Amino acid sequence: MPWKQTRDPYHIWLSEIILQQTRVEQGTPYYFRFVETYPTVLDLANASQESVLKSWEGLGYYSRARNLHAAASQVVQEYGGKFPDSYEEILKLKGVGGYTAAAIASFAFDLPYAVLDGNVFRVLSRFFGIDIPIDSTQGKKYFSQLAQDCLDKEHPADYNQAIMDFGAMVCKPVNPNCNNCPLSSHCKAYNEDRIKELPYKSKKIIRQTRFFNFLVLTDKTSVCIVQRSDNDIWKGLHQFPCMESEDLWVEVPENILSRLPDRIMNIKFSNKYKQILTHRNIEAQFVEIELDNIPVNFEWNRVPTEDIVKYTFPKIIREYLTDRFNCII
């Protein structure tokens, strides 16, 4: 992992933001892409948000990319382009929480702050046999103090990396390697046969299902797209005009057809597509509507079809583009 071989706080910060909600094998190519495209925090700050979102495309949780861009601007404007070197100042950066601040402070500056990610929660909960919910305010406060108490203050970077790696490779969520664990003789969860119970969470994620009907309006040379700007999923990304409904359409409603130019050449419904987000299930279909001509001043943005690869789309739309137009973006 290249970010483990550096003390550069900018590179460490990039890796930590990319690896939030992302597996290492998926995030690594993005890390290299960002380091190459934006070699310094100044390069990242000077880039447009659109280009940063395009570089992020495919990673999901796009608020991370927006916060990354905003924090880069903070570093330039408030710290003269020099990454802050104290935990308290790092914590002030947009999108940086306690875990990320501790990781940067310890790995870049060897400051004595304990990291507390899912791996560390799991190791501490099992080893000490703690059943306080890790997703509660009480639990976060308790484990934060416990992690700090356990920290090797003289070698915080080595300790933090070790306990995270231990949780990822030995004390795994499923099928932990207890038989070869050097801590098993002192592990309360192991000795009390409670490995599967810990760590304990009090809340279950309830996912809402939403139904999206995307209108793929095309003529011989162009297609209509819009940019999502409200405070909803995929903010800042592009999409085809979208009509949300209580279920997917079986035919195009008349009030939608009445908004289109007169000469509709053909209408075709795509297969159904699904995407699972943290708190939502998205079910979608793409209604391909071929028009004789899309007016220049039409209510939705008209762009040349060949330029569609320049825009940033959610995963579910990129899958459709790949299937329908063999368009890999």
Two structure tokens written together for 282: 């998205």
Average pLDDT over residues 248-277: 91
> Is it the case that residue 293 has pLDDT exceeding 60?
yes
Q: How confident is the model at residue 205 (pLDDT cuts 50, 70, 90)?
A: confident
Share of the chain above pLDDT 90, in %: 79
| pTM to 2 decimal places | 0.79
Place 329 in a pLDDT band, splitting at 50, 70 and 90. Answer: very low
Confidence of residue 133 (pLDDT cuts 50, 70, 90): very high
Residue 67 in this model has a pLDDT that exceeds 70: yes
Q: What is the mean pLDDT of residues 300-317?
A: 92
Residue 16 annotated among the catalytic residues of the structure: yes
Domains defined for the chain, CATH in brackets = 1-113 (1.10.340.30), 114-204 (1.10.1670.10), 208-325 (3.90.79.10)
Give residue-wise pLDDT tens across range 32-61. 999 999 999 999 999 999 999 999 998 888
What is the three-state SS of the chain?
Answer: CHHHHCCCHHHHHHHHHHCCCCCHHHHHHHHHHHHHHCCCHHHHHHCCHHHHHHHHCCCCCCHHHHHHHHHHHHHHHHHCCCCCCCHHHHCCCCCCCHHHHHHHHHHHHCCCCCCCCHHHHHHHHHHHCCCCCCCCHHHHHHHHHHHHHHCCCCCHHHHHHHHHHHHHHCCCCCCCCHHHCCCHHHCHHHHCCCHHHCCCCCCCCCCEEEEEEEEEEECCCEEEEEECCCCCCCCCCEECCEEEECCCCCCCCHHHHCCCCCCEEEEEECCCEEEECCCEEEEEEEEEEEECCCCCCCCCEEEEHHHHHHCCCCHHHHHHHHHHHCCCC
Q: What is the pLDDT of residues 143-194, one digit of tens each?
A: 999 999 999 999 999 999 999 999 989 999 999 999 999 999 999 999 999 9
Catalytic site residue from 16, 192, 251, 299: 16
- Tell me what the mean pLDDT of segment 117-143 comes to: 94
pLDDT at 328 over 50: no
Interatomic CA distance for residues 24 and 7, integer angstroms: 19
